Amino acid sequence: MATREPPTFFKETRLNFEPSSSTFVVDVKLPSVANPSRNRRQSNGLTRSNSHSGALRTQDYATASSVYHRKHHPYPKSFLWRVLEDDSILSLRTVDICKPERASDANLILNFHFPHAIRPSCIAVSDPPDHDALIVFVLDEAGQLYTLFLRPDSFRKRSFVESGLGDACKIFTVNALRNFGTPYRLIAVNTDQLIVALTDGGNIRLDKNKPNTSAQSPWKETLNNAKGWVQGFKSILSSRGDHDTTAAAAAVETNLGLNDASFLFTVCLDHRLRIWNLRNGQITGTKDLLDAVREPNEMGKWRLDPTQTNLIRIVGQYERQRTCVTYSPVGSGEFKFWNVESDDNNSVDVKAMHPDARLVPIPPLGSDVWTLADFCVVDRYPSRDYQMWILWKNNIAYRVQELTFLRDELPDVWQNRWRSVYSDTTIPSAPVSGPSDSVDASERWLQLILSPGRFPQSTLEAALSAYERAIDNVENNAHRSGQSIAESICSAIASTTSLGKTSSGVLEYEKFRASSEAQWRKFYRILIEIDKPRGEALALAYEPMSEMPSVNFVEGFSDSMLQICQSVLRAELFGETSKTDQERIQFFSDKAGFWRQISDEDCAQVTDVLGPNFNAVTSSVYQQMLATCNETWSPRRPTEYPLTELGRRLIVKATEDVADLQWDVCFSQLVLLVHMEFEFDRPEDALHNKVNIGAVYRSLLQTLSRLQLVRWLAGIRLPTPLSKTDRANSISGSSPVLIKRQSEECKLNTALEESVGHLLGISDVGPGHSLAMASIITKIVTNLCAPDSDVELQPHYIQCALLVRDRADLALELTPFSDQDPFSVYIQGRVSLALRDYSSAAMHFKKAAYGMSIPQADPGRHSCGLLDDDEWNLLFNGMARYYAHIVALYEKHKAYSYVVDFARLALQFINTKTKDADLLRTEIQGRLFSGATAISRFELAHSTLVAMKDRALQHSSLRTLIQKMCDNLHNAELVQLSFPGLQSAVDEILAQRCQDTMDVVTGVPYHQILYSWRIKRNNYRGAASIILDRIQKLRLLGEGDQFTSEDVLDTVITRQYLMLINVLSCVEQKQAWITAEEFPHPQAGTGKGDPVGGRRKVVTLADIRKEYQDELDRIAAIQNDQFGFSADDEMEIL
């Protein structure tokens, strides 16, 4: 027996098969022809408990699963089937890694709902050589055989399934099952022949009748029995559903490469191998599984468990020759390899390859009891060597091991050449939040729980419901509709904790932090318990073309010390520094303060491994370690097979795992390097005397920076709209509701997949060498993580894509990774602008101005759709146009103060050498004027207006400026502005406003503004005419009798008359006259909206004074009650 664990040569990648969009799931209800009384078995309380976790296990976790790889057609090639919900649903989906270049993804998941429960181990899959299709055979509890004929488009277009299966689903009731036996296993020999193994040891051969025959039944039934008819009939009557010792627990069919031969190798419960000739229904030979002779009285202890199924495999491609591998689970378990040959079509010769060798599998080390659950054997033709994979299980834990061997050397290499697969079964936990942590506890836990691919949505919802029941907060379920799962979890956690105060009134932050941390850990424990069954291994599958195995699934520093080290590391990774390498290492050591945590015992352990004075540490050791983390790969052939959605998900998950692993290694090495540099007794023993620690330190930081970027991209999920093909295929129908649903549907992809998914592919999937596909995937993954990778992860382009998606918050997190070239700095400005941090945006825009304005022959024009062609034309085309572009950006955000600043900068750089200078100047002046008026910088707007050469724009802007200043009551400022060359235009605009204004009491006082404007420019007669116009409109509004003070003669109109008399008194007597239109008397019945104009007449100062006196007399008469009784009566003035 082995005394140590086999070396680890492989690393697993766990995939979450949760669909990226709910539109990819298609539910199909199948019909039934069986008697309704023979319904599916009822679920009991243990299977469907009242708890949510029990229901979740039934609904979402598989009871059986496997992967079938088609033999005759290339794509889709691999199919995953799973049995769900109390054996009532068969779920099918494709699991290809890559696809032909022009083929579309087959993303749909087909869930077939059976009226009766599916019988265990009674699912068989086959693919016809003459049709590009997949045929699935299912036998249910009612004895019905379902035949599902699924073409590739069934996994691409919902309409192919939702419109009705039609002839694609056929149901046949196996008559022999009604009276002669109970189904035990279902084996598909090919698409035209099935074998139903029975619990009594016999079998039913089903041969498909040809369509042109007279037979009405689609299948011909042939019953075979290992004991003969008499004994078989007796066993039927006496068994009552028990399994006979001759029942086949496992079976495999082979034709040995012969056209007219078909043999069924069965491993029976009596520990014997029986070979059936399916042509004549006879048993051609029997063997003990271990080729041993058993005494009759010992047969009972060698009986196999009826639930075991993975006991036999047959491989080989040579004609008339195969290799059969059987496994006996009795005791510690043992394998036996058989050489199978045939001289004719009716018999086979089975001989043990190594009769004297005991091939006992070596379980993983430890005190746990491991059970061999599955295995597969691969004949790697034409290399003539074999490969064997075995799956060990211990409850829901599992391990996978591999052995590569030649037939003749198998006994010699069995004990010492096994290689294991690294399976990361540790449960990640968020460190305790401390004072040095920049992220609070809730955010850290959400990052852990919502990490892409870690937990399915259904598991999170089940854990939340269980947690709410645990804290007695079930009512919260009804109030979380419309909330995201993150919001619902945070709401539930927050309901259990509150920020209290001490008796002295001090807020208890630490107590609140500890209470919140405890609740998060409680929720996380519930989540882990519910998620555990999902990690149970159900089967081991192997894809021979790509040579990939797959499993289907149902110390150090304290936390505070790690937080300090990571805080110092962030400054080193992303901060700009002028320190030397030695100073940077010294800074890291001082800030981290290793002496606080590292004891003498810890130092002794390091010395024991690396020798005194760390003599084992050399430059070559560091070079090898850094080279391992910097393995690049450039395929010789171009990408021939793009990745499918599952393939991209596989690459992303594998990249995330490798990046985490390399990060831990490099971070540990960085800490160890800093520690060793200052751990010496004599100066000549210092590490820098034998290792270039500066170069190693910089290389580690470069590697960590790349890995941190990869980890960040792999950990961010983005909603991505479905492609046109996916939208067309995922929803059938054309109703408005469905069309709206199409536009709203999206799928969740990681930022890494969105950034580089289109660049990845497989150059060659043929079996050219050992583990072809696994090797290519490893190279792709390590290349993505390498600092010198040819796959560029340029942060500024990723930020562009995030800005297009309106995720400026995520784009900001990428700022530390960004370069300092002009375009990167410009993008940082765009990020700040999107976050409305206008001052930071302005700083970045000014910093990038010179580099973004210098003309370039080929600027690239890559921005992921952030910049359109018009915007690109303004970049790399001079400072004036660059700043004009910045002005337009700020204008979209209505940040007018920055519009003004950058517009003035743009105008400064316009000169005679500027192309289309006049047009550019006019455009910028227009934006400058708009920005200045928007923030009430009217003097700047005035100067800009005066400088305009475009007369149409100037007059339009003039009206805008006057309107803006008048509306905001900046009347005095308007009057003070000079408006050189535009004074007459200003007067006309204001006069037109006065003419159009009838309500001179409320609203903008245009009459007063124009009066002040004309007085300021010594136009007294013009001022007098506008006052007279206002007097007439006041009379029409009936404002003549409104008193403004205690003096009854002091009214609005009398005041206007005084102003009018005063202004006309400022001119010579001969010029003291104005022209005015005659207005009807206010008592004549003119409405407010009726025309008021009349004949024009000359009004002198004397006329004005007389009108003023008449107005005073009228008011006095009213006060003395001297007025007429009708409109035509004249008042009598006493």
Examine the pLDDT at 732 and tell me if it is beyond 60.
no
Return the pLDDT at 319.
Answer: 86
- pLDDT class of 839 with cuts at 50, 70, 90: very high
Domain termination site, one of 793, 818, 839 = 793
Q: Determine the structural domain holding residue 528 and report its residue range.
A: 441-533
Residue 900 lies in a domain: no
Return the pLDDT at 1129.
Answer: 55
Between 450 and 871, name the one with better pLDDT.
Answer: 871
Closest CA to 75 of 46, 116, 48, 104: 104
- pLDDT class of 43 with cuts at 50, 70, 90: very low
* 120-129, 426-435, 671-680: the lowest-pLDDT one: 426-435
Return the pLDDT at 1043.
Answer: 64
Return the pLDDT at 607.
Answer: 72
Query: Which region, left, alpha or beta, applies to residue 93 given φ > 0 means left and ψ of -120 to 50 means alpha?
Result: beta
Q: Is the domain of 574 the same as that of 693?
A: yes
- pLDDT class of 112 with cuts at 50, 70, 90: very high
Examine the pLDDT at 47 and tell me if it is beyond 90.
no
Return the pLDDT at 610.
Answer: 75
Reported as a single tens digit per residue, the pLDDT across 856-908 is 877 778 888 899 999 999 999 999 999 999 999 999 999 999 999 999 999 99
Reported as a single tens digit per residue, the pLDDT across 197-209 is 888 888 888 988 8
Return the pLDDT at 768.
Answer: 43
Q: Is the domain of 588 the same as that of 727?
A: yes
Return the pLDDT at 558.
Answer: 62
Closest CA to 960 of 941, 976, 943: 941
Q: Is the domain of 602 the same as that of 482?
A: no
Q: Is the domain of 407 the same as that of 456?
A: no
Domain termination site, one of 749, 768, 793 = 793
Between 910 and 240, name the one with better pLDDT.
Answer: 910
Alpha helix stretches (DSSP H) within 547-644: 559-574, 581-592, 600-610, 619-628
Reported as a single tens digit per residue, the pLDDT across 7-26 is 888 888 888 778 877 888 88
Between 1080 and 1018, name the one with better pLDDT.
Answer: 1018
Q: Is the domain of 516 the same as that of 550?
A: no
Dist. CA 336–CA 338, nearest whole Å: 7
Residue 15 lies in a domain: no
Q: Is the domain of 452 the same as that of 349?
A: no
Strand, helix or coil for residue 574: helix
* 550-554, 564-568, 653-657, 738-742: the lowest-pLDDT one: 738-742
Between 453 and 1102, name the one with better pLDDT.
Answer: 1102
Q: What is the mean pLDDT of residues 837-850?
A: 95
The total number of structural domains in the chain stands at: 5
Return the pLDDT at 547.
Answer: 56
Residue 855 lies in a domain: no
* 246-255, 448-457, 480-489, 1036-1045: the lowest-pLDDT one: 1036-1045
**b/e for 1051-1068, b at 16 or more Cβ within 10 A?**
bbbbebbebbbebbeeee
Residue 1027 lies in a domain: yes
H/E run at residue 1076: strand 1073-1077
Examine the pLDDT at 460 and tell me if it is beyond 80.
yes
Residue 1091 lies in a domain: yes
Return the pLDDT at 160.
Answer: 78
Q: Is the domain of 517 the same as that of 649?
A: no
* 180-194, 469-483, 668-682, 1049-1063: the lowest-pLDDT one: 469-483
Q: Is the domain of 366 the same as that of 505?
A: no
3-state secondary structure 657-708: HHHHHHHHHHHHHHHHHHHHHCCCCCHHHCHHHCCCHHHHHHHHHHHHHHHH
Return the pLDDT at 291.
Answer: 86
Residue 1099 lies in a domain: yes
Task: Check: CB of residue 750 under 8 Å from CB of residue 716.
Answer: yes
Between 652 and 743, name the one with better pLDDT.
Answer: 652
* 234-248, 320-334, 840-854, 887-901: the lowest-pLDDT one: 234-248
- pLDDT class of 44 with cuts at 50, 70, 90: very low
* 55-69, 462-476, 625-639: the lowest-pLDDT one: 55-69
Q: Is the domain of 671 the same as that of 747?
A: yes
Reported as a single tens digit per residue, the pLDDT across 980-1023 is 999 999 999 999 999 888 888 888 899 999 999 999 999 999 99
Query: Could you tell me the pTM of the whole model?
Result: 0.77
Pairing status of strand 312-315 against strand 1073-1077: unpaired
Q: Is the domain of 156 the same as that of 252?
A: no
Task: Check: CB of residue 805 under 8 Å from CB of residue 755.
Answer: no
Q: Is the domain of 323 the same as that of 359?
A: yes
Reported as a single tens digit per residue, the pLDDT across 270-310 is 888 999 988 888 888 898 888 888 777 777 788 888 888 88
Residue 79 lies in a domain: yes
Q: Is the domain of 380 the same as that of 448?
A: no
Dist. CA 1012–CA 1018, nearest whole Å: 10
Domain termination site, one of 525, 554, 583 = 554
User: Backbone phi, then psi, for 56, in 5-degree steps?
Assistant: -65, -40
Examine the pLDDT at 1056 and tell me if it is beyond 50.
yes
Residue 375 lies in a domain: yes
